[in-house]
Structure 1
């Protein structure tokens, strides 16, 4: 398999496989659990032929029979489910996970342990007992059975049938029905598992190279492992793909956990639930917190009510994949156990446990009753913590952390760039095992947080004053870089070498303990409505303390609230960026000696150089998002909060000052000839290293930041805030654009000759203004920005960023301002700016040296093409 094949295949594999919604899957009305019986079924005495099918005795003769929820009969490659009548018309959660993959799929980011599809199914006897049909249902509806509307709910939210099976036999007393299931697990039918469509490949299994590998039955589920093979073709090239898939048919809990209603002020994944009733005047739509079922033992409930710590009836247990390298196991487990302190805030001790597997032969990670930390041998640099959820209640039934081997490359890059100047142990191409294990512990805690139901809290870092991150006493007392390990706060890049700060790694913080206590404290209630007043009071206790504030994850390309950004630190992006830049300057002279030994090439130096530039870009991006920013809250009556308020005018002006210093003229210290004669910044690609020529890179990066600076959504938000709050509190788009123009064309106003960098700045700025005023340019502009995105993705990768694509992305706030943008003042202001620039250039066209004059003529022609009126 070569790199070209991998590149081709990667285009087929859709990100849908990663979406959090695939992991927050479905179940519905109360189901049931059967006890595991004997390993072998005892033959019945009556061996007469059943009139409804073949003889049951003949069917099981010489067959292997595994007892459990369904008895599984296997005979000469044929597989049968013996389904008790009591299981018919009950709800099962069908869970599909990847069990093994070939190289090409691995390289595309699909690995063992990943859950690609779940659905709720129901087996029903049809056609006078001659067939079993399987229906699929959407389980989010609930209605009291005695209400009149229940009949209408049943008629309007019925299941849809996806498969049928011939009844092969009944057992001797007709208490169970037997069906042959080969076709839904051997690639013949896609009704149960359509793995290639779900992965975005769009192909079908080749049945001659697909089949069932094993079926096992447990007390409350049946586990089927299948191999599916296909071929992916593009042009004249084809790539064979074989994927092992494990399917669990899982009986949902007989007694659902009492749900807890979600609150947007505390960041948990949730599952949607609709409540119908006769008493309503409006459908009651709710979101249920996804959480584990932690309850005190019956004998401990009174002690729990008195405030004593008790052990839960059933703790959360994770098993560590035996494939995990031994040197990392201790700290991965420690990262899980770090959450004990948070659960103690909820009243439970020993609530979460991680274990090494004592007997690997008994370890079965394919069983949906087993939660595990799966170690994936892959070049993929990531980690994630998905879970499987009962949507009737929000109960997390099972969770798996997927731990990609190459995640350590991200940790090395972050730590070296963000803390290498204050931590000598974080400078080499490889860290000591102790140093890397410490970083791994942080990632372990973060991903386990997701498996507990916690979403990213991107706003937690904004609660720390920037200068406090330079204080040893503050960082030792508060721990880490934010109040939540669920932020993307990363490592402390604010601390300077002279500060003596030692606590530079994110840890579980105040918000995390508060959020776990809010979601997991047990209340002796029968319905979620009963506990709502208590839960709201718990939020009110901290509603004005920034240490407990939750800031939703936002679209990274359309940040609205600058407090909730990825990778930022502290309450002032300009000051944090200034400190970060000091440390980047200190790194630049050491890029080669930190990465390269005698006789080695400069590949690693080019990669580190790329990371430094990516970090510089990130600081500028954080700052720009303050301009036109809106502080977002989720207020309730009586809390004295507003849902919207603009970023202070003075802070927006301060942000533009940073842009003037760092973006209008990219810093010379970032592009030094001594380094660039040895290596350009490098990005890996399927065809080898991609080398970025310095001037071209500066042009592209400056363009990208200027485009963001004056993009439509930012200006539209500024117009909205000016209308609501006036120019004393909100910086107007008109004033902002005037400030940008005066700085970008300052040398032109002085009639000076322009150097290459100033000409580049003016060209880029005129071009980004033209994009909004010329529809034909938008597609070209997208291509310009794509290369920058590719650079940044590798220069500054995100662990578990994929969590933001599903549930988190749907729940994030979005202030909609873009409707009919072409008839707004935003477009008028951009055209006005182009006209003002045209007039300015027209007056200056005969000033400066030859290159400057040619530059002015070029810009005048460009603007004239976009705005023909400018010729007049």
Structure 2
């Protein structure tokens, strides 16, 4: 009886457990039931709306299905999400990228498909090597989504999955990036106000248009205040990437390309290698033209690089944008290709094409108040192959061009002397910006050192500069030839930037196809030899980087091989331009807004000249070289150039630039002359007497063959500050303020707050510069006493200065 009762209880427990199974999350995979396959005709009935392409897309009962061919399982797709329409005030515009990710489908047991994101950071490149498996084991790609296979299309070997939620809802791959959501202060996706509006299928891509609505308080996007929500029209492109990736071309710091980084592992190596490979289009000769190409005959590429012009672009600017693209044809000729790149107008009434389609590179036109343009590109993460690019052209870039050209070229080009340029002039300016941005989409980075490769006097040589241009690269920010003087009579060919010898060389380096089936490593050796030979033959091909290091040759907006001399010419032209601004900016009904705007632009240009020159102080020339090249990589800026810099600052800043603030302008705009000049002088003094700068100068002097001791430097700066006063009362007042600022900075060096507060000193406070500054302060006190005796009118000022120096020295004694 006991046995029967126990058996009954056991059966009752088992029955209860069967009625209340464990949750799916707790159930091990090994006992999960596979997804139930339905007959194809039940899932995709004859009434389904179908579109055929890379995947067959089915629309049934408000649901979207993808039929994934077996042949595309495991193939890589590039998923690019772009904005089509954006809410007002979002500072994001149609055509701009919202997200980008490479993905692939993977079949799993249980009738499932996984969508994985590709994270390409490590590689072994040879599956026959033992280390290949170790690399694979440490590179498990994340699962973005998992799908039950609803049915199998047996006739066409396709797996049917429901992608409605994937496309409609939020996810990390096919939606706005997390950073963009955070910046725009977006809340959650509002499902009831979000829709899939259209899905199209093409031979190598799928295009999905959606409307996505997010909750919003209006903090990030003002339009959200009205309804508590903002709506974006989006486009997702899923483009099939090549089955066999394009061969990588390894990055070289001596040539400016955007690059992807990865770590390479080999059985034969004793350490991993961190490598970069450049981003570039796949440009190859046609099979029948390979022999001609190898013999140096120009051939057309197998696939031309094509850019389309957004039909929203005003018609009068389209020819200039097209010309800016076509100008690159000459550069590709140096790589062996003719007609390699072309721009075209967007075809009218062609329903098979979409501006957001990732098969097409487009110059998009944005109705933006932001004065800018930029040229991003989308590339295969495995190889760097550029798949497509979208130059985004903001309407107000023309405002920026107008300001630059009036101030920089107004002294030499009469066409620049009005608030609305003629269409021809503005078109020519648009053309050069178009070329610059397209250069980025071809893979080229900024080369801010390019303009330093032109001798200053050549910028004034009409014949030379009109033949060669004022900079060797369109990828520099060398806007216009502000060095040219009116008496030089230089035409527009010598004023505008153009595609130069560096650009042609860089395209040759990145796009030249080498004969034979070279490996990436073999090709890298050939490229190194090409680089060494080319730079040895023509040093002007130097890539100067993006202006972010200590090299004063690599700066934006500068010109010439001697920035001190170049910017003296620039100031001569500014002195011609500024007095004319009231006349040049005059328009009927204008309340002097034009004058205020252009005067600020002139002041900014003046300050730009100043800070170009200042970078010489404590700077070093940095010339990246391989072991095959002779000469040093790091070279201190010559002592004579630094002394010229201090003299320049004395002439153009410490001598108050009152010419920059004529009463004909300040009386109309309210600009405050003294405030502006004193603020600038104090800013410069902060740099000249910064403890870190003196520390660096001292270290450079200790190691230099041509040293510039800190004591001598301080004496040179002092000479520019402590000059006799003139007759202009405002200038004298500004000079007295400058001298008080000078003494304040000495106090900061000699009696740093950290020392007063008992905090450990930094290296800049432990080295000899404090002692040198202390000796300089004592000598300055003696010099000021002599000035006080000679200048009775300013005796009170000098006595106050002596008092301030005594306080500095007294504080020092207390320490």
Where does residue 527 of structure 1 map in the other structure?
Answer: 519
In structure 2, relative to structure 1, the CA distance for the partners of 1:177 and 1:708 (3 Å cut) is: farther
8 Å Cα contact 1:737-1:833 kept in structure 2: yes
**Offset from partner CA, 1:742-765 (integer Å, 9 cap, x none):** 4323459xxx99931112212433
1:42-441 maps to which residues of 2 (within 5 A)? 52-61=36-45, 62-106=47-91, 110-126=92-108, 128-130=110-112, 132-172=114-154, 175-190=157-172, 192-195=174-177, 197-198=179-180, 200-204=183-187, 205-230=189-214, 231-234=216-219, 239=225, 240-362=229-351, 363-441=353-431
Given the alignment of the two structures, is residue 643 of structure 1 paired with residue 633 of structure 2, yes or no?
yes
Q: TM-score if structure 2 supplies the norm length?
A: 0.87
Query: How do 1:600-615 and structure 2 match up within 5 A?
Result: 600-615=590-605
What does 1:355-754 align with in structure 2 at a 5 Å threshold?
Answer: 355-362=344-351, 363-478=353-468, 480-502=469-491, 503-524=494-515, 525-544=517-536, 545-555=538-548, 560-680=550-670, 692-711=671-690, 714-726=693-705, 729-746=706-723
Q: Is the 8 A contact 1:99 1:113 kept in 2?
A: yes
Alpha-carbon distance in structure 1 between the residues aligned to 2:526 and 2:332? 18
> For the Cα contact (< 8 Å) 1:459–1:487, is it kept in 2?
yes
CA contact (8 A) 1:496 1:579 kept: yes
Q: How far did residue 137 of structure 1 move?
A: 2.3
Q: Is contact 2:658-2:673 (8 Å) kept?
A: no
Q: Displacement, 1:216?
A: 2.0
Q: Distance in 2 between matches of 1:506 and 1:602?
A: 31
SS in 1 for 2:320: helix
SS in 2 for 1:228: strand
Structure 2 segments unaligned to the other structure (5+ residues) = 1-33, 755-760
Does structure 1 conserve the Cα–Cα contact (< 8 Å) formed by 2:117 and 2:143? yes
Contact between 2:131 and 2:265, CA under 8 Å: does it hold in 1?
Answer: yes
Unaligned runs of 5+ in 1: 1-49, 681-691, 778-817
**Is the contact made by 1:258 and 1:526 (CA closer than 8 Å) also made in structure 2?**
no
Q: Taking structure 1 as the reference length, what is the TM-score of the superposition?
A: 0.81
1:803-814 → structure 2 map (5 Å cutoff): none
Question: Residue 52 of structure 1 contacts residue 130 of structure 1 at CA under 8 Å; is this kept in 2?
Answer: no
Kindly provide the CA deviation profile for residues 402-456 of structure 1, in whole angstroms up to 9, marking residues without a partner as x: 1111111111111110111111111110111111111111111111111111111
SS of 1:477's partner is: helix
Instruction: Give the whole-Å Cα distance in 1 for the aligned partners of 2:421 and 2:365.
Output: 20
Check the 8 A contact 2:747/2:808 in 1, yes or no. no
The offset of 1:511, in angstroms, is 1.1
Deviation track 1:366-414 (CA, whole Å, cap 9, x = no partner) reads 1111011111111111111111111322211111111111111111111
CA distance in 2, matches of 1:236, 1:315: 40
| Deviations 1:470-529 (CA, angstroms, capped at 9, x unpaired) | 111111221x21011111111111111111111210111111111111111111334112
**Does 114-123 or 764-773 show the bigger shift?**
764-773
Distance in 2, matches of 1:454 and 1:864, equals 56
Aligned-pair CA distance for 1:771: 6.1
**Which digits, 9 at most, give the CA deviation of each residue in 1:763-792, with x for residues without a partner?**
433455566778889xxxxxxxxxxxxxxx
Instruction: Summarize the Cα distance change of 1:144–1:859 in structure 2 as closer, same or farther, 3 Å threshold.
Output: farther
Q: Distance in 1 between matches of 2:753 and 2:209?
A: 52
Q: Deviations over 1:250-276 (max 9, x none)?
A: 221112212211211111111113221
Distance (Å, rounded) in 1 between the aligned partners of 2:376 and 2:556 = 20
Q: Is the 8 A contact 1:461 1:571 kept in 2?
A: yes
**Worse-matched range after superposition: 382-391 or 346-355:** 382-391
SS at match of 1:736: helix
Task: Mark the CA change 1:326 to 1:670 in structure 2 (over 3 Å): closer, same or farther.
Answer: same
In 2, distance between residues paired with 1:753 and 1:372?
55
In structure 1, distance between residues paired with 2:407 and 2:252: 37
Partners of 1:208 and 1:402 lie apart in 2 by: 32
- Residues in 1 aligned to 2:230 and 2:576: alpha-carbon distance in whole angstroms: 48
Q: Partner residue of 1:811?
A: none
Name the SS for the 2:151 alignment partner: strand
Partners of 2:66 and 2:554 in 1: how far apart? 51
Tell me if the contact between 2:412 and 2:484 (Cα under 8 Å) persists in the aligned partners. Answer: yes
In structure 2, what is the Cα distance between the partners aligned to 1:160 and 1:597? Answer: 61
Q: Distance in 2 between matches of 1:352 and 1:133?
A: 35
Distance 1:661 1:235 in 2: 46
The 8 Å contact of residues 163 and 191 in structure 1, kept in 2 or not, is answered as: no
Per the alignment, do residues 820 and 331 of structure 1 end up closer, same or farther by CA in structure 2, a change over 3 Å counting? Answer: same
CA-based RMSD: 3.1
CA distance, structure 2, for counterparts of residue 379 and residue 392 of structure 1? 37
Of structures 1 and 2, the larger Rg is shown by 2
CA distance in structure 2 between the partners assigned to 1:587 and 1:342 by the alignment: 36
SS at match of 1:307: coil
State the distance in 1 between where 2:445 and 2:310 align.
24
Whole-angstrom distance in 1 between the partners of 2:81 and 2:770: 49
Contact 1:73 1:79 in 2 (8 A): yes
Alignment deviations for residues 809-828 of structure 1 (CA, whole Å, 9 cap, x no partner): xxxxxxxxx99555455566
Deviates more, 1:633-642 or 1:299-308: 633-642
- In structure 2, relative to structure 1, the CA distance for the partners of 1:660 and 1:299 (3 Å cut) is same
Q: Residue deviations 1:52-93, cap 9 Å, x none? A: 234431222232222222222223432222222333333322
Which structure has more relative contact order (CA 8 Å, sep 6+)? It is 1
Cα separation, partners in 2 of 1:133 and 1:383, compared to 1, 3 Å: closer
Alignment partners' CA distance in 2, 1:833 and 1:417 = 41
Distance 1:235 1:494 in 2: 43
